[in-house]
Structure 1
């Protein structure tokens, strides 16, 4: 039996400048010089091959139906293992805390989505119960998220023809009888349904990896610009100014222009309420909250306090009648009746819904992965698509906007002791009480209070604009992606900005891959180490040999770039010399005295296609006419197999000369010179 033992290095000690240091004896290896065919025969090389029939059989045999059920319903996996003694108290406290946060945030972001504020509380109840069953993240708080609500609100404003007013009455925005009539809630519901319609097929096709298309740079630039859109959309209620909602391209600059123009008509009373609310929130966030975090892990519910005090002040002083301050208006009690979305609107909202899907999923996955890495448990990216899809599917029948994980609520839920999604169940129970009985209390809440909560909560995202300095120092390409994404999102529409960001990100990857790292290698004397001669000054080029190192892929797209790079590094273009019929002279010297061998180090070649092999054939032919020999060295298994397959298919007599290492190729040439 062949027993393979690990290679042991013999330790040695040496004295350098009076200090004894641990070292190792010099490395001595004795073996013959190999070409690739001999090397493969000696090492028993064999391409792995599994018949398709065997793959299907193994796949069928590996299916564990019990495990599939557990993976589809993760609650069946973690709930039986739930430790009530150590975890239930933390989940109850976290649920109560998050429910308190849901009230002001839900109402504020519902308003941001162009629907009645109570919809934000619906979003924290119906979809969250479904996510508890199917979600794999134990700590994310699902519900409203400012950016997604704003994006949905853009679609709602575009297609709504009947607006539900504060007192529950309907306001017809168009008098054209031929125009289909849809309320703002109906448009929001069909967006939510379409998002679910995209997420569930993505789960079936295992497309959870799609979130990797959105890099951190792109997401930062996009969310920062979207936050400015959110602020612009809230200026009307914040200052109490009479401006109309802008739609389509250039909505942000036009809204800022309208607001600046209408500022002399601002409602002073609304400005005072907004200023007082904002000041209190900022003082709490900047001073009280950091101090309180050192004393206790329970945050002070400043947003809820602002909502309660704003409601009481409006109730006592009658803000709407006496001071002309807009209020939230009618909040229905009880749960909404289920209704079918307007399916005929799916083609109209599909593209916007697709963008919302990608943003919602990316934000949720980034939050879920943050907690899973911190607390050491697994999150399934594809299962999250199913959980979000089913949650939104149910929510679309109960007047909900698309749900997303919230950064602030999720952080609080974990910080105050939340262990599992049972915290969300506790939160839903509390919100159910509010929906059934307490909701009408908030009908007189000034809208400017909710607006102040929204704007202050976005402070962290707005200040991400300073990250451009960091990206510029780290990578000019990252900075370029950030600037393009931010600029187009801000000036044009959110969906266009995201699409532009993805295109620029992919372009940056292509351009950086199109010009990969290349260099000429030289030998470190008395070793078998070959290093970049520009970076390692001790490395010396070998007379008559050019060793070209290439990192990247060699295919139809990069073959021209590869050819230009090798000609530049080696110092001449063989085709140009052959065309000019000056085969023997370059700068007054014979080619044979300059270069006899060109070695291509493909140790970092990630991929090659038949077009790339054809280019190598062309190079080999051109060099041969100039009495130069081309060697290929350090080929990976897949690259070697592609070249071998091309050789068999074309049935060529002249094959490439391939060596397993650079040193084999160099020693082979030196032996060739001795034998001449």
Structure 2
């Protein structure tokens, strides 16, 4: 029986070759299973067999060298006026033109109800962080949300109160607000808060005008994790007064966490034990429910059980029918205004004073919201316009500032609920806003007897997962020391110094790390994997072998005015290690001057520079690349450049590098030099004839 080794499958036909791959036997309409092979047990390794000529970039592009790879100018296609309108107001597209009323409306209503019941306790609780009335958080669940529903591009994020933003705003409020009775020319808490909101909105709109949506990437995921984790610690620390009823002053500025705990220890004797008991019971119920009961109960319900709202209602009812709060001097919510707020313009004189804080708040709120929006959009596969998000949030803040709102942000918990319950579009947010309006008009006053310690307990439990982000530091450190350093510095600086200072330091450290990475360069010697056209690092791939007569170097990084000499030095050091016997390289000042004892043989010192990792080259870097090439050629090296980015080829030639050979791959360059070297060796063979004449073959 003849054993066949090679197969070629064409659709349903199989051609079987003998061991010498000659005379194929065609078997139409046959598959491997019919031949007795079991595909699931076969060790069938796919192969790539390609035969082609060696290409240089010019020939491959079929263009003249001087015309190759000039900077490409992109021309945008003309758009109709209606396209601009739909882009600026996305609700026209998803709501008026494409909304599926029969399939999506019910799910959006369910999601809207879920978000609304979360908004009620969170809105009132986080208003405490902002040093404003509890109803402000409910206002924020209506007006900015409606604006975002019309202008935003994310279908699932839930705008409104956000603990980090409320705390940052509360710090500004406590700095500039005063008692207007004692100081008639002072500003109320609400005036300062709305001024911050207005300036933050204007900053976001200005960023939209200049298309600065990409600035959200300044706050990396690691930086945001460290920042929000430290802010969560500050928020919980600030709530000790409400949780325990201790009489202390609110601390701000550097070491505020340390001073707060010091004040707590000094004034511990003023603790209100009934307040502490209610807080402990509330926190215990929430923790036990979230840890052991939440998943089991939610599986049996069509929507998540609003445990925070349930505790708020039960607490309100309990303290309404009893006199516990009055008997034990517990701090209650107090008067809650019913109805919607009137339009009031923030005091313009405050704008310069709060400008810097408002800028930081604007960037932080936008970055956190964008992180959530991008996370959900990547999961559900729909696009997000980063610049349009600036317009949506900016307009939400500007309009919200006229209607007694703090700066808004997207809440992770509410956004996750809106998506997991089944919300399809921002119609869920519109439904949620409608429910909150009903609460403001007729239900809000019901919560007046509720002790504030209950809301503080809700805040603390809601921040538990954010505080536990600290446990992620070892994993972050193992994955990247740079990211771990950014996280640690941001976290420590925010807690020790202050929120805005810590964020600024974190951003500076993050930018510095990016800058350092941008100037670091790597140069490694390459070797070819046997039987392939793949070239891998010699120091990490044991199977890779250096091609005889060819020194292949891979460069990764940028060549710029800062690191250009370091790049030259690394190239020279790599060449010195290869040609140490016949090359002397100056070391005092980076140079490629090579002094040889004897002139090198033509083609004996071949260098292929793999430039696929070239990220960027400025004018100084491009000039150095050209000088490096010319110096190496002058010193007897046969140099070729492989996988150079298209734009860099044009810039190099514009700087006078016209004699260089550019190859699309390293293998093209290596094969070219091998063939050229063989040709030179054949030309160098001289045979003397009998009469003394020399013949060259």
TM-score w.r.t. length of structure 1? 0.87
Q: What is residue 618 of structure 2 aligned with on the other side?
A: 609
| Aligned-pair CA distance for 1:190 | 0.7
Distance 2:339 2:61 in 1: 75
Alignment of 1:380-391 (within 5 A): 380-391=385-396
Q: Does 1:342 align with 2:343?
A: no
Q: Does 1:151 align with 2:160?
A: no
TM-score w.r.t. length of structure 2? 0.84
Distance 2:447 2:481 in 1: 49
> Out of 97, 109, 113, which is 1:92 matched to?
109
Q: What is residue 65 of structure 1 aligned with on the other side?
A: 81
SS in 2 for 1:341: coil
Q: What is residue 4 of structure 2 aligned with on the other side?
A: none
> Out of 659, 676, 689, which is 1:668 matched to?
676
Q: What is residue 298 of structure 1 aligned with on the other side?
A: 303
Deviates more, 1:497-506 or 1:214-223: 497-506
SS in 2 for 1:641: helix
SS in 1 for 2:231: helix
| Aligned-pair CA distance for 1:439 | 1.9
Distance 1:595 1:192 in 2: 71
> Out of 142, 150, 153, which is 1:125 matched to?
142
SS in 1 for 2:616: strand
SS in 2 for 1:547: strand
Q: Is the 8 A contact 1:12 1:24 kept in 2?
A: no
Distance 1:548 1:297 in 2: 61
Residues 483 and 577 from structure 1, CA distance in 2 versus in 1: closer, same or farther, beyond 3 angstroms?
A: closer
Q: Is the 8 A contact 2:71 2:647 kept in 1?
A: no
SS in 1 for 2:410: strand
Unaligned runs of 5+ in 1: 1-7, 163-169, 649-653
Distance 1:28 1:132 in 2: 54
> Deviations along 1:395-438, whole A, 9 cap, x unmatched?
10111001111121222223333332222222222222222222
Distance 1:24 1:423 in 2: 50
SS in 2 for 1:244: coil
> Deviations along 1:279-321, whole A, 9 cap, x unmatched?
1111221122121122224222221122222223333333453
| Aligned-pair CA distance for 1:66 | 0.8
Asked which structure has the greater CA Rg, the reply is 2
Q: What is residue 4 of structure 1 aligned with on the other side?
A: none
Q: What is residue 574 of structure 1 aligned with on the other side?
A: 585
Deviates more, 1:223-232 or 1:357-366: 357-366
Residues 534 and 51 from structure 1, CA distance in 2 versus in 1: closer, same or farther, beyond 3 angstroms?
A: closer
Alignment of 1:115-264 (within 5 A): 115-162=132-179, 172=182, 181-264=186-269
Q: Is the 8 A contact 1:601 1:662 kept in 2?
A: no
> Deviations along 1:101-141, whole A, 9 cap, x unmatched?
21111000011111111111111112212122212222222
SS in 1 for 2:384: coil
Q: Does 1:597 align with 2:609?
A: no
| Aligned-pair CA distance for 1:613 | 2.9
Residues 30 and 188 from structure 1, CA distance in 2 versus in 1: closer, same or farther, beyond 3 angstroms?
A: closer
Q: What is residue 5 of structure 1 aligned with on the other side?
A: none
Q: Does 1:106 align with 2:123?
A: yes
> Out of 591, 595, 617, which is 1:583 matched to?
595
Note the aligned Cα RMSD (angstroms): 3.3
Q: Is the 8 A contact 2:626 2:652 kept in 1?
A: no
Residues 40 and 139 from structure 1, CA distance in 2 versus in 1: closer, same or farther, beyond 3 angstroms?
A: closer
SS in 1 for 2:526: strand
Residues 303 and 576 from structure 1, CA distance in 2 versus in 1: closer, same or farther, beyond 3 angstroms?
A: closer
> Out of 502, 516, 522, which is 2:521 matched to?
516
Q: Is the 8 A contact 2:58 2:68 kept in 1?
A: no
Distance 2:566 2:152 in 1: 47
> Out of 540, 557, 571, which is 1:552 matched to?
557
Residues 446 and 574 from structure 1, CA distance in 2 versus in 1: closer, same or farther, beyond 3 angstroms?
A: same
| Aligned-pair CA distance for 1:248 | 1.6
SS in 1 for 2:656: helix
Aligned length: 642
Distance 1:580 1:553 in 2: 19
| Aligned-pair CA distance for 1:642 | 0.5
Distance 1:450 1:269 in 2: 15
| Aligned-pair CA distance for 1:524 | 4.3
SS in 1 for 2:341: coil
> Deviations along 1:216-255, whole A, 9 cap, x unmatched?
1111111101101110111111111111111222222222
SS in 1 for 2:115: helix
Distance 2:341 2:47 in 1: 79
Residues 591 and 468 from structure 1, CA distance in 2 versus in 1: closer, same or farther, beyond 3 angstroms?
A: farther
| Aligned-pair CA distance for 1:386 | 1.1
| Aligned-pair CA distance for 1:202 | 1.6
Residues 348 and 673 from structure 1, CA distance in 2 versus in 1: closer, same or farther, beyond 3 angstroms?
A: farther
Distance 1:402 1:581 in 2: 62
Q: Is the 8 A contact 1:550 1:605 kept in 2?
A: yes
Q: What is residue 167 of structure 1 aligned with on the other side?
A: none
Distance 2:309 2:274 in 1: 22
Q: Is the 8 A contact 2:169 2:406 kept in 1?
A: yes
| Aligned-pair CA distance for 1:369 | 2.6
